[in-house]
Structure 1
């Protein structure tokens, strides 16, 4: 009877551990999905002035240009600097007020990308020289990179707990390949959210991006809204960055299936390629700067879909973090009432057996009963629950439940 009672409570313990661990995994994934960085400054240069306001309908109509390749006007090379250097210098001037607020003790990582894999000769040195001549207070560690990874930027700012400046300029003087794209440039300052405590700064939060695929885009978009910091109903605008036709069709269908009503662009999706001509590789970063600008204008949360290589990613940007609270899992209660009963009854059972079997050795039987009680206490209170917990962990892992790889960091 006692054995049945004990195994009943072990079954209760198993279900308790299962519920607690699944809730803990769900909580870890929610925290992982809501990890974010702050965009505290941005600057864009495009052939169309006030592009963000026009796209949102705040200042006239959105430009319509899907074919014509446009150039930036007013940036001419001279004997001292190329057009790329002049454009990057303009971006630094626009970012300088916010950069100076960081103080002279910081050293910022500055990534410079020209939109192509090759490194323009002397570009890094030119940016460092412009940084010093502009008298920007923080020190700069300038790197000219062949490409910029969206998750790489997110990961660096969160893990290194440091600010990062991204400067991208895609100009026709970068080579023949660049002539197929309209000229654009963008500068962005990313900071860890916890370090943004300066007055007058209302940072736009860029939340962790989520990889997805065409065949699972609908389900992934729902999960993105359920687990992420921004519920699907809060998205006001959607941005398509470098997506091919199949990806665009799949995203449009997913948005429709999820019941989202996004404004702007075709089918609720804004693509810079439809506004200023082919934008090219730096399209996601230009779009992110425009998203940050519109979020500051009170245009609500923005959904961003971007293509990086063969990977399709979903990202969210919003002015403030979601108010949805994260619930902490309860603690597993090791309810071992049966074990306690068995332990307490062991000496009495031993005494009863001694009286019935060998009354002369009653004391020895009682000592044996106490020893059995101690053994059962150790077995029931420590070993068996650990076996039950290990089984729960194995079963949950077999069912597909796991913690994110960087759950602690997130």
Structure 2
């Protein structure tokens, strides 16, 4: 299901207040006055007062008639509209909170390794250490990655990516829900990844999936969602741990000039389900859900992203971008400038030269590291097959902040209709001309019980269905089904 960034939520219904107590007191005076007007004229003029008749018809019957009328008035004047408003408002609350939870979903960056031609790139670009690098138009190499004994730089590169993560990879691989996603030029390099896994003596033989460089991986659209489950009882198949390996090594000959700079990144990601199971698991930051669209709609995309309040907008201080060209670049930079955000822009291309597709992950890793270092949420813009993609990287996403009101939970198990039915039944018993229990009394009692069950089921259909399911399960367990 496609996530909607601009849903239309119904407006909140007004809450209702019950009628004041004086209304019911006035109603009692009216009912009691009517009863006395009917009983007093029939009393004997002389002799003793038949107090049993007076108590029966002038006290007991009016009291239960008043109770029936009071419950009936309360039912229609307050209970029905309050119940409808509570159901509407609670459903609206669940819609909004569910949307906020989805909008703030993400993948946790548990750890990362970043290899770029310039060391300490993130710290230097934010002027935390050293001087910002400037290499516009210069295709740079990873000078720290020399060829291994077999002449392959790839083996040395993979070792450099996996070795710092080995301790956490052991834990992830033993968790039973782990996969490696490799984004590079050739699918056949899966064997090189598994060979590097073996050289480090990491446990098991993980599944390695390949993503080619031409495809936008849609990390926030696909990876953050639970994989489809045809049946409700099937387990979530989304891997709890996912290791992303992405790299670009120039393979041009000595007489050919490379067009893009070399870079590599390893991101150990934890799924939302994993972080729910292990909330204390250490993480660097969260890669939050991205928004994509046409380049000329960059202002609308940024406004929708900020409106979702994945993080407080005033805390965003840094803006990263890479690979934006033409309209996408001008529209995105203009949207950020006009948004009111007070951010410092950091372009990857001028810092370390023209970028290969690996930059989409390098820039996420750099932003995650800076969020981890206390530099606040980071805004990222990257080219996308639709035009442009925007997302935020934050230490923690903002919590769901829709307040729950007490009146949203108005769902009494026994409503005023039970008072109406019991009072009417009592009045019928008091006015019955029969001295003993009659057939009419049986019929009235059965009808009263029937209507009580009916209104209970109408008021609490979920509770009734759960009671039926529990009863069926119990009977099934008793008879052996």
C-alpha deviation, 1:132, in angstroms: 1.6
The alignment yields a C-alpha RMSD, in angstroms, of 3.9
Match of 2:395 among 309, 319, 324: 319
C-alpha deviation, 1:196, in angstroms: 6.2
For residues 316 and 182 of structure 1, do their structure 2 counterparts lie closer, same or farther at Cα, with a shift above 3 Å needed?
same
Does residue 1:223 correspond to 2:307, yes or no? yes
Match of 1:370 among 434, 445, 449: 445
Match of 2:95 among 9, 15, 25: 25
1:390 aligned partner: none
* Aligned mates of 2:279, 2:252 — CA distance in 1: 39
Q: 1:181-207 deviations in whole A, cap 9, x for unaligned?
A: 222111111133357689xx8412314
* Aligned mates of 2:92, 2:461 — CA distance in 1: 17
* Aligned mates of 1:27, 1:290 — CA distance in 2: 31
- Does structure 2 retain, via aligned residues, the 8 Å contact 1:168–1:187? yes
- Does structure 1 retain, via aligned residues, the 8 Å contact 2:290–2:392? no
**3-state SS of 1:145 partner:** strand
Q: 1:351-387 deviations in whole A, cap 9, x for unaligned?
A: 68877xxx89994444443334223323333226659
1:193 aligned partner: 275
C-alpha deviation, 1:77, in angstroms: 4.7
2:28 aligned partner: none
* Aligned mates of 1:222, 1:246 — CA distance in 2: 21
After the TM superposition, which of the residue ranges 53-62 and 345-354 deviates more from structure 2? 345-354
* Aligned mates of 1:386, 1:108 — CA distance in 2: 42
Aligned length, in residue pairs: 368
After the TM superposition, which of the residue ranges 48-57 and 342-351 deviates more from structure 2? 342-351
* Aligned mates of 1:221, 1:145 — CA distance in 2: 27
Please say which structure displays the higher CA radius of gyration: 2
1:165 aligned partner: 243
- Does structure 1 retain, via aligned residues, the 8 Å contact 2:246–2:264? yes
- Does structure 2 retain, via aligned residues, the 8 Å contact 1:113–1:168? yes
2:379 aligned partner: 303
- Pick 1 or 2: higher relative contact order, CA cutoff 8 A, min separation 6: 1
Match of 1:69 among 129, 139, 153: 139
Q: TM-score with structure 2 length normalisation? A: 0.64
1:96 aligned partner: 166
Does residue 1:55 correspond to 2:125, yes or no? yes
C-alpha deviation, 1:155, in angstroms: 4.2
Q: 1:180-233 deviations in whole A, cap 9, x for unaligned?
A: 3222111111133357689xx8412314414343263244123331xx3x2222
For residues 15 and 325 of structure 1, do their structure 2 counterparts lie closer, same or farther at Cα, with a shift above 3 Å needed?
closer
- Does structure 2 retain, via aligned residues, the 8 Å contact 1:346–1:370? no
- Does structure 2 retain, via aligned residues, the 8 Å contact 1:112–1:142? yes
1:237 aligned partner: 318
For residues 14 and 141 of structure 1, do their structure 2 counterparts lie closer, same or farther at Cα, with a shift above 3 Å needed?
same
- Does structure 2 retain, via aligned residues, the 8 Å contact 1:212–1:312? yes
Does residue 1:382 correspond to 2:457, yes or no? yes
- Does structure 2 retain, via aligned residues, the 8 Å contact 1:65–1:275? yes
For residues 321 and 212 of structure 1, do their structure 2 counterparts lie closer, same or farther at Cα, with a shift above 3 Å needed?
closer
* Aligned mates of 2:387, 2:445 — CA distance in 1: 65
For residues 95 and 285 of structure 1, do their structure 2 counterparts lie closer, same or farther at Cα, with a shift above 3 Å needed?
same
For residues 366 and 245 of structure 1, do their structure 2 counterparts lie closer, same or farther at Cα, with a shift above 3 Å needed?
farther
Q: Point out where structure 2 has 5 or more consecutive residues left out of the alignment.
A: 1-68, 228-235, 463-481
After the TM superposition, which of the residue ranges 279-288 and 189-198 deviates more from structure 2? 189-198
C-alpha deviation, 1:273, in angstroms: 2.1
- Does structure 1 retain, via aligned residues, the 8 Å contact 2:262–2:356? no
1:334 aligned partner: 411
For residues 339 and 243 of structure 1, do their structure 2 counterparts lie closer, same or farther at Cα, with a shift above 3 Å needed?
farther
Q: Point out where structure 1 has 5 or more consecutive residues left out of the alignment.
A: 388-410
* Aligned mates of 1:174, 1:144 — CA distance in 2: 23
For residues 6 and 283 of structure 1, do their structure 2 counterparts lie closer, same or farther at Cα, with a shift above 3 Å needed?
same
- Does structure 2 retain, via aligned residues, the 8 Å contact 1:77–1:86? yes
* Aligned mates of 1:195, 1:377 — CA distance in 2: 44
* Aligned mates of 1:197, 1:380 — CA distance in 2: 44
* Aligned mates of 2:148, 2:128 — CA distance in 1: 37
Does residue 1:272 correspond to 2:272, yes or no? no
Does residue 1:205 correspond to 2:297, yes or no? no
C-alpha deviation, 1:295, in angstroms: 2.4
2:190 aligned partner: 124
**3-state SS of 2:251 partner:** helix
After the TM superposition, which of the residue ranges 97-106 and 188-197 deviates more from structure 2? 97-106
Q: TM-score with structure 1 length normalisation? A: 0.74
